[in-house]
Structure 1
Amino acid sequence: MDSVFEAYLGPDGALALTAEPDDIPKTNADVWILGKRYNSINELELIRRDIRSRLWCTYRRGFVPLGESQLTTDKGWGCMLRCGQMLLGQALIDLHLGRDWFWTPETRDPTYLKIVNRFEDSRKSYFSIHQIALMGESEDKRVGEWFGPNTIAQVLKKLVGYDDWCSIVVHVALDNTIATDDIDKTCGTGSVWKPLLLLIQLRLGLSDINPIYIPALKKCFQLVGSLGMIGGKPNQALYFIGYVEDEVIFLDPHYTQRSGSVGTKTSQNEIELDETYHQKYAQRIQFNQMDPSIALCFFCKTRFSYEVLLNELKNEVLNSGNQPLFEITKTRSMPWISPTTSYSSQTTSNRRRTKSEDFEEVQNEENNKGDDSDEDFEIIC
């Protein structure tokens, strides 16, 4: 039972004993969880049931040795990898079970178990820590190095192609631009459509998020098809799944649990392992505490849902502030870079990435100037 017990420990290993968890404030303000609206005074248990039904992926220990260094735990380096697992896990749940599906400790749905099995810490699992870490080498990340939002996005984009049952395609929008022609080429047009996991990479400041963007971020959580955001706060990667008032709600991967297989969930050990994939209580931080490097995440099961999403992004998200989060265009234009302009000369606090260089290379340059970036998510834990 040690894995279940550890799930209730804080990241520092301290046992939190409170009469009432401070997970969701009791307020008349709307609580948004992945496109669903709740009232916490009347629907607190429904909110908690929704949160607990999300796949919660955390550090694990005792798995099959990984990489040349033969690592048997991802504690200290795998938090963004685990956030990527949570994101993809939610996409698979939406695709194969539906957004209104809920988990209970008694759940033995074969489709659900098929999804969980894909994220177990095994070399044969499609989206295990092993597969993600090893695929990261194609993005110049050695096994045991932490990822930023763009690295995990690019790795997931490659890995989904190996799983026919998954049937999802990943499109990563860079340069603050969604080019619809690129998505058409990826997902198809007309009656032929491959379910789309859309990730929009953004940098909304240097060391802090510019508050001008917060209203638009809130709108993103409200949209049908929202899969939240992957990002974090300085030195920690987190999976953001909703918000209430001026606080963003997240699932935290920084809990070390034992590795194992849920299998068919017939033995007591498998039942206990399954519970470690579900967090009872989410946590909250202020929007302005988020690291400015984030990826907005959306899932479109059908062509129609994709068209609805584009319409809502144009009319509700991009028009929600003086400075739009990104652009939506038909074709991607070639970036123009002045021969006399360098990244180091762009130092305004509200700068967003506008060049075509790799997302994380920009952050590395800023890191040399002492600013926080998504490359610093996991330094010590």
Structure 2
Amino acid sequence: MDNIHRFVNYLLDPEAVNTDLKNPLWSLGLEYSPIPDPPRPQLTHGPHAKEASTSHQTVSSAQSKLSSYISNASSVLRKPSPSPSPDHSTSNGQAVSDVHEPLKVSWPSAFVEDIGSKLYMTYRTNFPLIPRISNGPSFITVGSLLRGQINEKAGYTSDVGWGCMVRSGQTLLANTLIALHNAQPGSTAEKRIVSWFADDPQAPFSIQNFVHHGWLACGKQPGEWFGPSAAARCMQITCSNFKEPNLRVYIGGDAGDVYEDSCMRVSGGPRDFKPTLVLLGIRLGIEKITPVYYEALKFCLRIPQSVGIAGGRPSSSHYFFGYQNNNFFYFDPHYPRQALPYRTDYESYTDDEIATVHTRRVRSIRMEDMDPSMLIGFLIRDMEDWKDWISRVESFQGRKFIHISKSEPMFGRGNSIDTDGYVDLGLHGRRRSVAGENDSEDFEHIFAVADDDDDNGVQELESDDEGEPNRKSHEEDYEDVEFDKCAT
């Protein structure tokens, strides 16, 4: 009976209800009381009415982290009506209007406002074409037929059905940048960050650029579902190419291994430490998360360096940002919306456009229903933050899956946990045939670190073949595919 209830909840995707008034709410290192706000006093007459009203306005202003533009676009932030499909869209690919039901009041307002202050990337439709490789995935799927969204034979103008891991990775990266630059909702800094994720090849962190680098670096063809390691690699490459955010990306070894020497090479070292996003691709079980790792996974969202987890249900990626007891809170990217345009004048974004990258809806999933494969992110701002993060990780009491070593092994990649029955998310070379060529080519998963300081934190990892061509020669080889239309 319990399984039937969970299946129905999965289909209808109802908003989570706060029934646990004992365990605290956690959101990226911040703790909130689970007790809902007390009812507002209904004083409309008498000498104390004006005083009560003024007091309430002051409290509301202090609690709210969202600026007035979210209130102006609140219809986009309200809970959508339940649908028998996780993709609540109409036949033309637009999100179902969110104006029918008010927000639930069972959650404390400070927690809901915290959710609303985060950036939230979803499926998009009608964006500039992503060219299709001739032997790539079919542009027609059962889901696209049901939704009436048939992409052109030339390529994809929507990522519905295949882009959820890209969107989860974008959400993780976007909230890392929000934290790094302390960008408040509605601020110029937030709008600038949003412009970087617009659905256009000109935007450095766009779906087009993720797919472009996923193809060149990981052999992921346009329209093919990304895994955590491919998403991590694309975050690293795009951050290396686009230096304005001042963010470097370090990808840990297999099974949660972090090597201080290689991380210092990426970050710039103790004397010139640059803000660094540490990404750990791990698998904590076979079909489900092994319960012995529950507390360690919660710990990852409880420490101040946390920037979230890209993971989800099997073949359905989400972005996790908090938890309560054994329930994890998440953003679901499976809600199609119109493509977000790219604007060099990011101040010209309308309230409604900015509102499409926010939500106040509370969703949760039990840990036992989560997929064990995931990508965990930590933002290390400086050397003191690095020392604090190491101290917290090493002092954690319980079964760990993050292991910090002074140096990377000379041969092979370390694996310091019992892997019996586990599958590591190793970054191995793949072979993909390219349209118009008979011979397969090896794809490096990352590109060598340059001797100068322009690499911006790209790690050097092993290649399958000695003398593997560099990335530039790859791009030259694939010009016939005309995929460079998507490059910045």
- Return the alpha-carbon distance in structure 2 between the equivalents of residues 40 and 122 of structure 1: 40
RMSD: 2.6
1:151 and 2:221 matched: no
SS at match of 1:224: coil
The residue number in structure 1 matching 2:158 is 73
Deviation of the 1:336 alpha carbon: 6.7
Q: How does 1:124-273 map to 2 (within 5 A)?
A: 124-138=202-216, 139-176=218-255, 177-261=257-341, 263=343, 270-273=350-353
Counterpart position of 1:85: 170
Q: Residues 318-375 of structure 1: CA distance to partner in whole angstroms, max 9, x if unpaired?
A: x322xx21321011125679xxxxxxxx9954x2539x663999xxxxxxxxxxxxxx
- The separation in 1 between residues aligned to 2:163 and 2:331, in whole angstroms, is 14
8 Å CA contact 1:59–1:256 kept in 2: the answer is yes
SS in 2 for 1:216: helix
| Structure number with larger C-alpha Rg | 2
- Paired residue for 2:198, among 120, 127, 132? 120
Shift, 1:22, TM fit: 2.7
2:26 to 24, 32, 36: 32
CA 1:266–1:183 in structure 2 vs 1: closer, same or farther (change >3 Å)?
A: closer
1:189 Cα deviation after fit: 2.2
Structure 2 Cα separation of the partners of residues 210 and 26 of structure 1:
24
Give per-residue Cα distances to partners, 1:209-267, cap 9 Å, x unaligned.
Answer: 11111111111111011012111111200101010011111110000001133745777
Q: State the aligned residue count.
A: 325
**Equivalence for 2:361:** 281
Partner in structure 2 of residue 309 of structure 1? 389
Structure-2 change in CA distance of 1:215 and 1:347 (3 Å): closer
Task: State, as a whole percentage, how many aligned pairs show the same letter.
Answer: 27
**TM-score, length-normalised on structure 1?**
0.79
Amino acid aligned to 2:110: L
Mark the CA change 1:130 to 1:46 in structure 2 (over 3 Å): closer, same or farther. Answer: same
Residues in 2 aligned to 1:15 and 1:198: alpha-carbon distance in whole angstroms: 31
User: Which stretches in structure 2 are left out of the alignment for 5+ residues?
Assistant: 1-8, 38-107, 133-153, 432-488
Residues 75, 357 of structure 1: alpha-carbon distance in 2 compared, 3 angstrom cutoff: closer
**8 Å contact from structure 1 (residues 87, 239) kept in 2:** yes
Q: 1:55 to 1:224 in 2, by over 3 A?
A: same
1:63–1:72 Cα contact (<8 Å) kept: yes
Structure 1 unaligned spans of 5+: 1-9, 338-345, 362-381
Query: Match for 2:128: what amino acid?
Result: V
**AA in 2 matched with 1:142:** Q
In the superposition, the TM-score normalised over structure 2's length comes to: 0.62
Q: Distance in 2 between matches of 1:336 and 1:134?
A: 29
- Tell me: CA distance 1:171–1:92, structure 2 relative to 1, closer, same or farther (3 Å): same
> Which whole-Å CA distance do the structure 1 matches of 2:411 and 2:287 have between them?
25
Aligned residue for 1:197, secondary structure, equals strand
Q: Is the 8 A contact 1:231 1:237 kept in 2?
A: yes
